[in-house]
Chain A
């Protein structure tokens, strides 16, 4: 777990440095309100995609808690 945190922290730092960390003022946030900026996207589609991936690969999860199990994996 420590390794995961270390790797991700480094990556997060690089990512944030890459996008020029500058939290905006309220009147500068118009672009952030676009629906396309939504990370989760369409609920049903995202669930189905993750369901397919998790039934064909060993790796799964990371997108939250509460998803039910399935005999497919």
Chain B
């Protein structure tokens, strides 16, 4: 009887950790270790390599070493932090897919974040801070999260609040010293739906005020505020007989620029024994253009890049990212567990973006296809 109680308690603890892990999302997300502090610390180091291109043009290359540390402190606390240093070089279009000779650049972005978390009996809270610095952009963020679980550990609720202050400059205009303030809020629930199913639903709301125009695009005049709302639904299903897990996700996004986007992602996590795991994945996103995005049709009197009716006052943008398009990406990740402490991982992803791939096929015309690929190689150690 004592053994059975111990087994049940151990399983409960592990599932509590699963719910906690299920809520560990990127960007100092909604971590909800509603059961207990992690029993082990970990250190992970990764090397990242990213390239993107359009026909006849190699655009951006990014190389980014990064590191992440998680350390338990006693049974009630943990701290974690990460560092990343992006080395960026290449060219980014000034308008639509056109690159000017002056737009070549080479720069570095350094970013760091840290969070401290406290674990109660069925709840936890965290406080975090993030800092990112480039020669023409600086961002500071503080955030807090709180989560709590039901008595049977089958449901965990979470809320989060963050505030960012960004300073925007420009190599082209040294006098530019613009600002942007953003409040971020999120609320969600993770539910154990069955012995093989975890479902998570999160709502997010960002309210931003300040400068949203891109100083490196021309012409580019955007509203001085942007409100963003997201709804994220994720579902993990265990296929015990196949030793595999299916992960599905759907995110709806809408903002006050008029953009609406739906993103679907799916991954198949296939285990081969205890040491090897392969994860192929697919992602598709479809996006409606911002209401002030203009197609590449230029003013007869002013010429390229000015759109017809351009007055320098009303919102207008020729940024491809605000256009209507669809994008498809496919990835493959390999995880190798060397022993009880060491783990290796490697992944590759290929990304393709086309106007004609928008759901329904009525994407923005006249834009060159956009392609990207990135590799990641990592090593992690538990202690």
Residue numbers of A with Cβ under 8 A of B are 1, 3-5, 7-8, 11-12, 15-16, 19-24, 26-40, 42-50, 52-53, 56-73
Contact = CB atoms under 8 A, between A and B. Distances in A.
Interface in B161-205: 161-162, 164, 166, 168, 180, 182, 184-186, 190-205
Nearest to B115: A66
Contacts of B253: 59-62
B68 A33 contact: no
Interface residues of B, number: 123
B91 interface: no
Interface string B249-292: 01111110101010100000101000001000000010100100
- SS of B interface (majority): strand
A42 B162 contact: no
Given A34-B238, A40-B25, A62 B141 contact: no
A62 to B, nearest CB: 3
Contacts of B46: 44-45, 48
Contacts of B206: 61
Contact of B26 (A23, A38, A47, A70): A47
A5 B353 CA distance: 28
Given A39-B236, A48-B64, A8 B201 contact: yes
B192 A23 contact: yes
Q: Top 10 closest A-B pairs, CB basis?
A: A64-B29, A67-B27, A66-B143, A71-B137, A62-B230, A66-B28, A65-B162, A69-B139, A59-B261, A33-B14
B240 interface: yes
Given A57-B261, A71-B134, A15 B27 contact: no
Nearest to A33: B14
Interface in B78-99: 82, 84, 88
A39 B25 contact: yes
A4 B203 contact: yes
Contacts of B185: 65
Interface stretch (B117-125, B306-314, B368-376): B368-376
B53 to A, nearest CB: 12
B322 interface: yes
Nearest to B216: A71
A48 B322 contact: no
B336 interface: no
B17 interface: yes
A57 to B, nearest CB: 6
A64 B64 contact: no
B330 interface: no
B50 to A, nearest CB: 7
B22 interface: yes
B184 A65 contact: yes
26 contacts: A7-B252, A19-B194, A23-B152, A29-B14, A29-B18, A33-B15, A34-B18, A37-B22, A38-B22, A39-B190, A42-B345, A43-B24, A43-B26, A48-B48, A56-B327, A56-B353, A58-B261, A61-B253, A62-B204, A62-B231, A65-B161, A66-B113, A66-B130, A67-B26, A69-B139, A71-B136
B228 interface: yes
B29 A66 contact: yes
Interface in B1-54: 7-8, 11-12, 14-15, 17-18, 21-30, 44, 46, 48, 50, 52
Contact of B230 (A21, A32, A50, A61): A61
